[in-house]
Amino acid sequence: MCGIAGILGPNVDAGRVRAMVDAQRHRGPDGSAVEMIATAVPDVRLGLGHARLAILDLSPAGRQPMQHAESGCWVVYNGEIYNHRDVRADLGGEFRSTCDTETLLAAYARRGRRCVD
C-alpha cells in the first residue's frame, strides 16, 4: 500500500515533505517523489509526496505525485479504482499510462467533483 504525504502552508520546505515520505518508505518500495507546487497565495506552497508501491502500472508513467497536463491539477493518491478502464472508455482521449491515478485526474479535470459519481 502506497504512502502519501502533504503539507499546505507558508514557507513549506521540501525537506519536511521528503522526511514524511521517507518515514513511509516501507509502504512503497518501488520509488518515491516529492513535488513542491506554487499556489495563488504568495509564500504559500503545497508539498506533495508519495512512496510508491507499483501495482497497475509498473512503468515510470505511473509515478506520483502526478499532474494532469491540460488542467494543471495535481494528485497524490493511495487506492484503487476497480472500474477505471470503463471510466477511461467513457472519458475518451489519450492516456500516457495504464494506472488508475491518471484516470482519476482526467475524470476530475473533465467533471470536477462530479467525477466520483
Residues involved in catalysis: 2
Q: Is the dihedral of CA 101, 104, 69, 9 positive or negative?
A: negative
Please provide the distance, in angstroms rounded to a whole number, between the alpha carbons at the two ends of the chain.
25
CA distances from 88 to 57, 77, 99, 103 (A): 15, 17, 10, 6
d(CA 100, CA 95): 10
List of residues 6+ apart from 12 with CB closer than 8 A: 36, 44, 45, 46, 47
